[in-house]
A and B are shown apart, each in its own frame.
Chain A
Amino acid sequence: MAHIHLEDGAFTLQWISIWWVLSIVLIGLCLYWMKKGKGIDNKTITIAAMLTAASFAIFQVNMPLFGGVHMNLTPLIGILGGPAVGGVIVLIVNVLSAAIGHGGWGMIGANVLVNMTEVSAAYGTYKWLGKTKVSTFARAGTAVLIGLFLGNIAMIAIILISAVQGVTQSRVDMLYGLSLLAGVNMGVAVIEAVVTGYVVSYIERVRPDMLRG
């Protein structure tokens, strides 16, 4: 849900390269983890494909709320796929999104890092709450809120560190503006939390094998 909506040229080439390299290193670790861990079976590939399709389809839909917002289901990706598979999914979704003109190509690296924060934080929170016997709906919903909140913080940090070319605004003003933007984003996170909570609860009833625990 947090997504850097800036066009190519907003960041300097140096920062675009740094975020790209970092995201490639992380994706490499995800692939290594997938291979080293349980391996990649057909079920995992099918779930990953479904999550990719769902995330891509919903990510491009601009909803008429707070003037225009969108969801991207990254916490659901984390809960169902885990951080390793999730990392690969968010890379694919970001590349496909850039291909249709939603987000710049140069921003893919930075956006992958933002989305991976959401995926990992949601996965970690969901797993951690599993030890407390909280209901699946509340577990998944809370994981979404925490994941998207941390994703917004990652987005703000990346923009403040990179700085935007051609603007006269100070970093403090930028932090204020981006905090308001993140605040609005969290309104959509509430909707995403309720939707994901119901989806995960439903999956637990009909296909509990799809949930990792």
Chain B
Amino acid sequence: MYHYKRTMMIAILVCAGIFLLSLVMGRFFIPVQEVWNILLSRFLVIPITWDASMYNVVMEIRLPRVLGAILVGVALAVSGTAYQGVFRNDLVSPDLLGVSHGASVGACLGILLHLSLYGVAVCAFIGGIVAVCLTLLLPRLIQNQSRIVLVLCGIIVSGFMSAIIGLLKYIADPDTELQDIVYWQLGSLAKVTWDNLYYVLPIIVVGTIAIVALRWRLNILSLSDQEAQSLGVNVQRERIVIIGISTLLTAAAVCLSGTIGWVGLVIPHLSRMLVGHDHKKLIPATIVVSASFLMVADLFARALTTAEIPLGILCGFIGTPFFAWVLYKQRRYF
């Protein structure tokens, strides 16, 4: 317990540091003192020592973007941890279960139909739910519930959803819609504004609070069905609730940033290495680690080169070797 508290303290401090750094750094450097004052000026009356452009960069460009990074990271990683718990399978994630791609199909349809952002979000959620249902249904048809079959079925559904996305791109208007879809699908936080945030913020905050509240329950659901039932848990009902919340979280993240892979797989593993497997500690750790990770990744995405690298691509480059390392570390449990 002592170890956990100390780890969390350090993680939260690091996270706060990265938050400030993300507002300071960028193409246009703003001193920490000014950033701090600008943030405070929202709550306190303090003398203005900054110029209008600084204020705009911090409040209108960087802050929504950094908040977007936190929300997307938390949504993907918390849903990833929850999926891994309820499926008793630490190889699954929103990407591997097909949820991300399903939500993308929904969102693409929304873009093609010129729906409002809210409409796009609803479509993304429906797409995610359809995808996760298909992924759960396939192993039943095959009559093999092993964890590797679940992962393979997720890959099948992801592939199918990718094919639909390809079809939607093909029929999209190349001058307007296609650009929107392609850019959005690469995974980026560049277009995050306060308006977008207002739509998804409540969903992600409420969903995350729900998973945090249910976090000890995830321990029980990660046992075999019969064990959990013998302990007095209505396994089917609780599992459906958690899958629903996780899918909602993933869909909200996809709406905000497009598909950003690997976060939902890598961060739960990284957090487990820090605080162990008990979901009571794991979920809070996941939140802090994922927020830090995505803020850093987004900082690299916009500051590494003069042209911005889409975040989805960057996360792929960081996530894949990292996951290979995770598999190596845990090799004796496979």
Query: Is A bound to B?
Result: no
A-binding residues in B (CB < 8 A): none
B-binding residues in A (CB < 8 A): none
